[in-house]
Amino acid sequence: MATTPDITPRSGAGSPFRLLNTREAAAALGIGKRTLQEHVALREIAIVKIGRRALFDQADLADFVERHRIKSRGWKALPPARAVIEVAATPAGEEGRQ
Protein backbone atom coordinates (compact mmCIF):
# COMPACT_ATOMS: atom_id res chain seq x y z
CA MET A 1 0.00 0.00 0.00
CA ALA A 2 1.47 3.35 -1.01
CA THR A 3 1.81 6.01 1.61
CA THR A 4 0.75 9.57 1.04
CA PRO A 5 3.70 11.94 1.11
CA ASP A 6 3.95 14.35 4.00
CA ILE A 7 2.91 17.70 2.57
CA THR A 8 4.07 20.30 5.06
CA PRO A 9 3.89 24.03 4.44
CA ARG A 10 7.05 25.64 3.09
CA SER A 11 5.98 29.08 4.18
CA GLY A 12 5.58 30.35 7.71
CA ALA A 13 2.88 29.08 10.03
CA GLY A 14 0.97 32.34 9.62
CA SER A 15 0.44 31.79 5.88
CA PRO A 16 -3.28 31.95 4.95
CA PHE A 17 -3.00 29.26 2.23
CA ARG A 18 -0.67 26.63 0.85
CA LEU A 19 -0.01 26.09 -2.85
CA LEU A 20 1.00 22.63 -4.05
CA ASN A 21 3.13 21.77 -7.04
CA THR A 22 1.97 19.21 -9.62
CA ARG A 23 3.57 16.22 -7.87
CA GLU A 24 2.10 17.17 -4.48
CA ALA A 25 -1.37 17.88 -5.90
CA ALA A 26 -1.45 14.58 -7.80
CA ALA A 27 -0.39 12.71 -4.66
CA ALA A 28 -3.04 14.50 -2.59
CA LEU A 29 -5.74 13.43 -5.08
CA GLY A 30 -4.35 9.93 -5.49
CA ILE A 31 -3.93 10.27 -9.26
CA GLY A 32 -0.96 10.47 -11.62
CA LYS A 33 0.66 13.70 -12.75
CA ARG A 34 -0.50 13.16 -16.34
CA THR A 35 -4.11 12.64 -15.21
CA LEU A 36 -3.90 15.84 -13.17
CA GLN A 37 -2.58 17.70 -16.21
CA GLU A 38 -5.49 16.38 -18.29
CA HIS A 39 -7.99 17.72 -15.73
CA VAL A 40 -6.20 21.09 -15.84
CA ALA A 41 -6.32 21.11 -19.67
CA LEU A 42 -10.08 20.43 -19.50
CA ARG A 43 -10.38 23.32 -17.00
CA GLU A 44 -11.80 21.00 -14.34
CA ILE A 45 -9.14 22.03 -11.81
CA ALA A 46 -8.04 25.63 -11.37
CA ILE A 47 -4.35 26.48 -11.25
CA VAL A 48 -2.34 29.45 -10.04
CA LYS A 49 0.34 30.44 -12.55
CA ILE A 50 3.42 32.08 -11.09
CA GLY A 51 5.90 32.51 -13.91
CA ARG A 52 6.16 29.11 -15.60
CA ARG A 53 5.02 27.20 -12.54
CA ALA A 54 1.51 25.79 -12.26
CA LEU A 55 0.49 25.60 -8.60
CA PHE A 56 -2.66 24.26 -7.00
CA ASP A 57 -4.64 25.77 -4.15
CA GLN A 58 -5.81 23.11 -1.68
CA ALA A 59 -9.31 24.66 -1.66
CA ASP A 60 -9.54 24.19 -5.46
CA LEU A 61 -8.55 20.53 -5.08
CA ALA A 62 -11.22 20.08 -2.39
CA ASP A 63 -13.82 21.69 -4.72
CA PHE A 64 -12.79 19.29 -7.50
CA VAL A 65 -13.27 16.31 -5.19
CA GLU A 66 -16.71 17.55 -4.09
CA ARG A 67 -17.84 18.06 -7.70
CA HIS A 68 -16.86 14.48 -8.51
CA ARG A 69 -18.39 12.91 -5.42
CA ILE A 70 -21.09 10.36 -6.17
CA LYS A 71 -23.57 10.30 -3.36
CA SER A 72 -25.16 7.11 -2.19
CA ARG A 73 -28.88 6.67 -2.64
CA GLY A 74 -29.01 4.65 0.52
CA TRP A 75 -29.86 1.03 0.97
CA LYS A 76 -32.39 -0.24 -1.54
CA ALA A 77 -34.34 -3.42 -0.90
CA LEU A 78 -33.95 -6.14 -3.47
CA PRO A 79 -37.07 -7.24 -5.35
CA PRO A 80 -38.70 -10.43 -4.06
CA ALA A 81 -37.07 -13.60 -5.33
CA ARG A 82 -38.87 -15.41 -8.14
CA ALA A 83 -40.19 -18.87 -7.48
CA VAL A 84 -37.79 -21.50 -8.70
CA ILE A 85 -39.42 -24.21 -10.79
CA GLU A 86 -37.56 -27.45 -10.58
CA VAL A 87 -37.26 -29.31 -13.85
CA ALA A 88 -36.65 -33.02 -13.68
CA ALA A 89 -33.33 -33.73 -15.32
CA THR A 90 -33.14 -36.66 -17.68
CA PRO A 91 -30.23 -38.95 -16.88
CA ALA A 92 -27.51 -38.81 -19.50
CA GLY A 93 -27.96 -41.26 -22.35
CA GLU A 94 -31.66 -41.98 -21.68
CA GLU A 95 -33.23 -39.35 -23.92
CA GLY A 96 -33.80 -41.69 -26.88
CA ARG A 97 -34.55 -44.98 -25.02
CA GLN A 98 -38.02 -46.47 -24.92
pLDDT tens digits for range 51-90: 999 999 999 999 999 999 988 777 666 666 665 555 555 5
What confidence tier does 40 reach under pLDDT thresholds 50, 70, 90? very high
**CA atoms of 51 and 76, how far apart (whole Å):** 52
Q: Are 2 and 28 in contact (CB under 8 A)?
A: no
pLDDT of residue 92: 63
Angle between helix axes 58-67 and 22-29 (nearest 10 degrees) is: 40
pTM of the model: 0.58
